[in-house]
Structure 1
């Protein structure tokens, strides 16, 4: 029937054969025909008229001829994010997320399939599912961060958390400080809000404290967005001395620090965090499950002092009403029953093996690689200086390779040539061959 509709053999307004007639013609039961008709009604192709039968409403679009996907290079922030969603290029060292197979291959998938729509409230609490918030406060306690339920609110992922903070505390024309290189969706959000993002030089061991103090004085900024651990895109992590220096500067200049910690669950608890040194006084702490479970969950959280948490949650209620009780209860069950912990152990092991393979491959290709401090998914690879301004993203895309070049992550127009490499994809032989060619390319 769908084939007849698609081929144009049945026109809009035309009445279909009766259920009895179609059942006899096809030699199938009437219930089978009824189910087929109802599916086409649900898809909007047919209309049921009581007492008259089923009529064609519209024809489905003709199937497009198979054609190769267009070559799209991630040359700006919007293109980079779009490619991560559409996944048109098959070789993906520029991707920011763990591979779907790192979830699908685990026992976790079976639990998710079974539990997804089990008992859940129609509406969530304004703050989010209380048992999960209490469990997250316990997790923060293991990281050395004291937190109670009235300091914790759930969000639709880390990006929603950053959106709420920007909307609540930043106005068009303000200056804020960000890591440079830094988290590119954040830089894009700030630009959209009309906010001037001032880059603070990011070193492998954390923000450059001298550059941070200079930029605070020059810009008058009162807010600093940073990722302390398993930094996106460099893979570096803050050291205790650097964390102390950052907070000392923040205190001296009345600077609020937003610490985004997306890989917290796969990193050692004892690693230094700004929030553990500050105890949520001037640090707003952001977490998410998108990097450890699946991006489609869209479950994150904000921990802050009680006043700030209440202010942000009021904005959340006004703009989105509430977060998902289904997903939050599901994640709580995964944690409570031990499934999440088992999944994290497998995820850490996969990331560790992938890191070794990628580092080995890149070093053999002629690159100096700074290993992640404590874990994470990213490496930051410096490229030959003469490639500054070269269309390397386009060159990679022609080979089917998706890369994430340095301009995407910078507040400046012409940063040094470099790229972020996701360790899950970095050992691909096609990618490594292309990297060898870049290393050997002559200066022009």
Structure 2
């Protein structure tokens, strides 16, 4: 959720969008302050301030003892909102909406809600610590104590890693960008999950590489498809997310992991494994990096999914020669990563705050997953639960919902959705959407989805 002043605008824009869509009409009573605060996951004072501003603009009327009522639909707002932006109709606009957060109901979001990541205890600690220590530039490899602690965490995941194999990055996306810039040439064929992580597809396109989709199943990549496309294309890199897969929510099984590594060895493929949810997943979950011990696997992780996304702190581990080459590129292009943020994260880990936070985060994700699956199954949809945890559900849709017009229709109702076309290399992927478990049971989203499912 945005900062407090932006949260007020967030509530105001949500109401204006509902007015424009006709879901709120003159004379209609708004939800109570408490109900709206709970729905949006914000403080009641924020809702009060937003309602009062709309009263001042003549949009709402306050009736003591009764609530707030719509007086009129502002013409300027209606004109502005009548043509919703083309959000989530392509990969760049999907990422833009996740950053700008213009729509209030967010089943298509790739991130957990801010209130999941910054509990009051954690926020107080961060506010106190942020400027307690100052330094100039960080080490070129990153903050030493945090890298040492990460090597210990890797050992718990079954990955043997020395500090000389581990460099800090500005998040997982920066780590992927380093790999692409160092090893992928324009015109080169590269294998990726399909459906898969859409910012990666944008990075490969920018590099001039040819992304070739390997069918992603709930239990991992389709090994036969991987082998077939690797032989035909000659591709030497395969980018994959083994666990809590974005967007499908599936996780690789041990048998599939062994088969993928066997194929990679036979075909001389280097694997780039992204593990953004590692800290809330079981240590014993099958990771390609653990089976391979960083011989042909480049292992990427981040704190941006489990702490505030603004940290932009991640890491990359690889064989010593590759780690050195990639760190040299990091120095040439970004100089160093943030000593402030890395020191903060280390202090959170060292003092036990991070572990407590992770326990709360797992519990929230588990409860939200159950609620979202139940709500979506009640619509007659078949939902596969995440294996071992994670934040995503992959919801297959009927054929008549395979249209970008669906995105605009959702946006008019204040709903942000992410359709399968954004995650796939295929020209006409099967209709589906990624649903963030934090928002999958939202009553407005469920009501809108029910209407679209019935609209044949």
TM range (shorter): 0.7 to 0.9
The corresponding residue for 2:236 is 222
| 1:337 corresponds to 2:351 | yes
Segments of 4+ moved more than 6 angstroms: none
Question: Is residue 116 of structure 2 the alignment partner of residue 102 of structure 1?
Answer: yes
Residue 110 of structure 2 is aligned to residue 115 of structure 1: no
Number of paired residues?
378
Return the alpha-carbon distance in structure 2 between the equivalents of residues 115 and 75 of structure 1: 40
Shift in Å, 1:114: 0.4
Q: Could you list the per-position Cα deviations for residues 311-345 of structure 1 after superposition, in whole angstroms to 9, with x for gaps in the alignment?
A: 00000001111000000011000000100000000
Trace 1:215-254 onto structure 2 (pairs within 5 A). 215-254=229-268
* Match in the other structure for 1:6: none
Deviation at 1:413, TM superposition (A): 1.6
Residue aligning to 1:26: none
SS in 1 for 2:214: strand
Q: What is the aligned partner in structure 1 of residue 300 from structure 2?
A: 286
Unmatched tracts of structure 1, length 5 or more: 1-64
SS at the partner of 2:145?
Answer: helix
One of 158, 174, 194 as aligned partner of 2:172? 158
Among 192, 213, 220, the alignment partner of 1:199 is 213
Shift, 1:120, TM fit: 3.4
The answer to whether residue 314 in structure 2 is matched with residue 300 in structure 1 is yes
1:406 aligns with 2:416: no
2:337 matches 1:323: yes
- Cross-structure match for 1:4: none
Q: CA deviation at 1:391?
A: 1.9
Name the counterpart of 1:90: 104
Rate the CA distance shift 1:215–1:109 in 2: closer, same or farther, 3 A. Answer: same
1:135-150 paired onto structure 2 within 5 Å: 135-150=149-164
Kept in 1, the 8 Å contact 2:142–2:336? The answer is yes
Report the CA distance between 1:66 and its aligned residue. Answer: 8.0
Are 1:74 and 2:88 matched, yes or no? yes
Q: How far does residue 389 in structure 1 lie from its aligned partner after superposition?
A: 3.4
Provide the rounded CA distance (Å) in 2 between the counterparts of 1:436 and 1:288. Answer: 36
Structure 2 counterpart of 1:353: 367
- Name 1:124's counterpart in structure 2: 138
The equivalent of 1:311 in structure 2 is 325
Q: Distance in 1 between matches of 2:437 and 2:387?
A: 14
CA-CA distance at 1:388 after TM superposition:
2.7
Q: Within 1, Cα distance between the matches of 2:400 and 2:76?
A: 39
In the TM superposition, 1:408-427 aligns within 5 A as 408-427=422-441
**Over the residues paired in the alignment, what is the CA RMSD in angstroms?**
1.2
Structure 2: how far apart are the matches of 1:292 and 1:95?
15
Alpha-carbon shift at residue 390 of structure 1 (Å): 5.4
State the shift of 1:439 in Å: 2.2
The 2-side partners of 1:295 and 1:327 are apart by 11
Could you tell me how far apart the structure 2 residues matched to 1:132 and 1:66 are?
51
**2:105 aligns to what SS in structure 1?**
coil
Q: Which residue of 2 aligns with 1:35?
A: none
Partners of 1:353 and 1:218 lie apart in 2 by: 44
TM-score, normalization by structure 2: 0.81
SS of residue paired to 2:89? coil
- The equivalent residue for 1:174 is 188
Task: Tell me the distance in 2 between the aligned counterparts of 1:204 and 1:75.
Answer: 25
Contact kept in structure 2, 1:226 and 1:257, CA below 8 Å = yes
Distance in 1, matches of 2:322 and 2:413, equals 48
List gaps (5 residues or longer) in structure 2: 1-74
1:183 aligns with 2:183: no
SS at match of 1:107: helix
Q: Distance in 1 between matches of 2:398 and 2:409?
A: 15
How far the C-alpha of 1:284 sits from its partner, in A, is: 0.2
Residue 277 of structure 1 deviates from its aligned partner by 0.2
Contact in 2 for aligned 1:164/1:312 (Cα 8 Å): yes
TM-score (norm 1): 0.84
Q: Does the CA-based 8 Å contact 2:89-2:404 persist in structure 1?
A: no
Larger radius of gyration: 1
Contact 1:74–1:80, Cα closer than 8 Å, also in 2:
yes
For 1:439 and 1:372, the matched residues in 2 are separated by: 23
**What is the DSSP-based 3-state SS (H/G/I as helix, E as strand, rest coil) of the residue aligned with 1:314?**
helix
2:385 alignment counterpart: 371
For residues 336-368 of structure 1, what are the alpha-carbon distances to aligned partners after superposition, in whole Å with 9 as ceiling and x for unaligned? 010000000000011011001100000011110
